[in-house]
Structure 1
Amino acid sequence: MNYRHAFHAGNHADVFKHVALLALCDALTAKPAPLFALDTHAGRGLYALDSASALRTGEAEGGIARLVAEAPRHPAIARYLAAIKACRAEHGTAAYPGSPWLLGHALRPEDRIAACELHPEEAAQLKSVFAHDDRVAVHARDGYTAMKALLPPRLATQRFNRGLVLIDPPYEAQLEEFDAIIGALRDALGRWPQGTYAVWYPIKRRRALHPFFRRAATLPARSVLVAELMVHPDDSPLRMNGSGLLLVNAPWQFDATLRAVLPQLAAALGEAGAAWRVDWLREAD
């Protein structure tokens, strides 16, 4: 496994994914029952945007740096920017939080988080980030096999009926990754059907994603929602033009939240030809 997210931290895909992740956490914590969150491909948890890796690509300049300068006013974006500010107050002005840090920031003392990372160096760093947080268990293991082992989530004295699974693989297998995702979702829904599942995916040419969408629509779920942010025109196979989230069992009215947030993200981060969409593959009855 050669992928390192340090080269891409804080880019437009991270901004979209993390704005949505915090909004999902807020929607789920609106109810008092405790939650379980599983991050299947967690990375190292924290990144430095002044590192050699980040500076080599400069991707954060078109992502978090641009959003901070534009400062759109939707509450979900303000929530995300406040989380960035809190992270930097604790870890330095060049810090950027990964998804497990954001889960730890957004969830409550009674909630529990499992963060999985297969790469040894990244997993070791992730463990150090959460060394003093008893809510978070770090697993140096494959995220898909962890879904089989950890769902439905149970502790010695507690079973969780609600929660979130974030599936954010590096797509080193490219389109073959979607086979693993669909299989993992179908299996997980059979054992924890009430969970909310969020799958991040990159977009180069959207037509290559149509088989994935067709299969996702057949999952044994209450609802399946797709949300996408395109920051470049959808016609270049040589770069990531945008990214999307497949949301299975999304919280009530979460589509409305995304429809309000995505135009502001597209305006702040996009170039000519930027676009967004929110569509149901299956809408709850």
Structure 2
Amino acid sequence: MLAYRHGFHAGNHADVLKHTVFTAVLRHMNLKPKPYRVVDTHAGAGGYSLEGRYAQKKGEYEEGIGRLWSRKDLPPLVADYVEQVRVFNPDGKLAQYPGSPAIAQLLLRPVDQLRLYELHPTDHRILASAMAGRRGTEIHDSDGFDALRAQLPPSTRRAVVLMDPSYEGTGDYPRAIAALREGLARFADGTYLLWYPQVTKLESAQLPKRLEALASQTSWLHARLTVQRPDAQGFGLAGSGVFVINPPYTLHAQLLEVLPYLADVLGQFDGANYLLEQRAD
């Protein structure tokens, strides 16, 4: 939705989970010399000030990246993710947070391709300015769900697709399923990451099973992190999940170490927990 601004939520616990998994996937893709294409369907502004009024309104980053910033006991994958945030803050102070496009820009090689989609006019303008000049990058102010028709199959024959819509209404849930279905039909070998919020909506609760059914003929991994209780009215972001279709074979073992750590460090109540499931070919 065009009213959504990720700046209010940048660096929160959901970003920590999403970007930790995203970092792991890109690192694995880099192990082979052949280039690949990253398609980010809801790219946002690319980077966010943590000192501006959006991030400061609720200070969500303090319960996310803020809890990891100074720790010395980070598991290797989490340390790698935090290092990308440090590169984005060269003076050593946690003042900026890199969105998915910025993390991709840091990790992709010169031969790799980056395709970014963002409809919000202000965020698109910031994104275009931030990403300008990178070879192999295209920035579009069009619907990311529809983008897969043009981007898949990629000329590289290798691809990572990241979907993290706002889910402010209920329409993003069926659209995400439809886009993934079309993506798999066009390029079955791609790696697809779908982030989703853990909220008190029926669509959110049903989404993992719908994704399992969609990916029943291939490998998948589902990671979920629950860090807080909903409020008294049952609202709020209790946690989030990432569903990966055709995940790297190394990802399950990495997250088996990472998720208990994140549940402990980011947990805001005694019942903080995690879930890790997979279907391997």
TM-score by length of 1: 0.92
Which residue does the alignment assign to 1:187? 182
Give the aligned residue type for 1:147.
L
Secondary structure at 1:43 match in 2: coil
Larger displacement relative to structure 2 (163-172 or 129-138): 129-138
Q: Deviations over 1:105-151 (max 9, x none)?
A: 01111100001001111111101001121122111111011112211
- 2: CA distance between counterparts of 1:151 and 1:203? 29
Larger displacement relative to structure 2 (85-94 or 130-139): 85-94
Map 1:245-264 to 2 at 5 A. 245-264=242-261
Give the aligned residue type for 1:68.
W
Q: Deviations over 1:35-82 (max 9, x none)?
A: 100000000001000001111111011111111133442111111111
Map 1:239-278 to 2 at 5 A. 239-271=236-268, 272-278=270-276
Which residue does the alignment assign to 2:195? 200
Map 1:123-134 to 2 at 5 A. 123-134=124-135
Give the aligned residue type for 1:82.
E
Percent of aligned positions that are identical: 39
Matching of residue 170 in structure 1 with residue 166 in structure 2: yes
Asked if the contact 2:41/2:163 (under 8 Å) is kept, the reply is yes
Larger displacement relative to structure 2 (201-210 or 125-134): 201-210
Q: Deviations over 1:172-194 (max 9, x none)?
A: 223x3211111111111011111
Matching of residue 224 in structure 1 with residue 225 in structure 2: no
Secondary structure at 2:55 match in 1: helix
Deviation at 1:93, TM superposition (A): 4.6
- 2: CA distance between counterparts of 1:254 and 1:92? 30
Q: Which runs of 4+ in 1 moved over 6 A?
A: none
Which residue does the alignment assign to 1:238? 235
Deviation at 1:207, TM superposition (A): 6.5
Asked if the contact 1:230/1:275 (under 8 Å) is kept, the reply is yes
Asked if the contact 2:197/2:204 (under 8 Å) is kept, the reply is no
Which residue does the alignment assign to 1:156? none
- 2: CA distance between counterparts of 1:126 and 1:210? 32
Give the aligned residue type for 2:242.
L
Question: What do you get for the CA RMSD once the two structures are aligned?
Answer: 1.9
Which residue does the alignment assign to 1:212? 207
- 2: CA distance between counterparts of 1:269 and 1:118? 31
Give the aligned residue type for 2:276.
V
Which residue does the alignment assign to 1:279? 277
Aligned length: 277
Larger displacement relative to structure 2 (86-95 or 246-255): 86-95
Which residue does the alignment assign to 1:40? 41
Give unpaired runs (5+ residues) of structure 1: 154-158
Asked if the contact 1:206/1:234 (under 8 Å) is kept, the reply is no
- 2: CA distance between counterparts of 1:202 and 1:12? 11
CA distance change for structure 1 residues 208 and 131 in 2, over 3 Å: closer, same or farther? closer
Asked if the contact 2:84/2:103 (under 8 Å) is kept, the reply is yes
Deviation at 1:213, TM superposition (A): 2.4
- 1: CA distance between counterparts of 2:206 and 2:240? 16
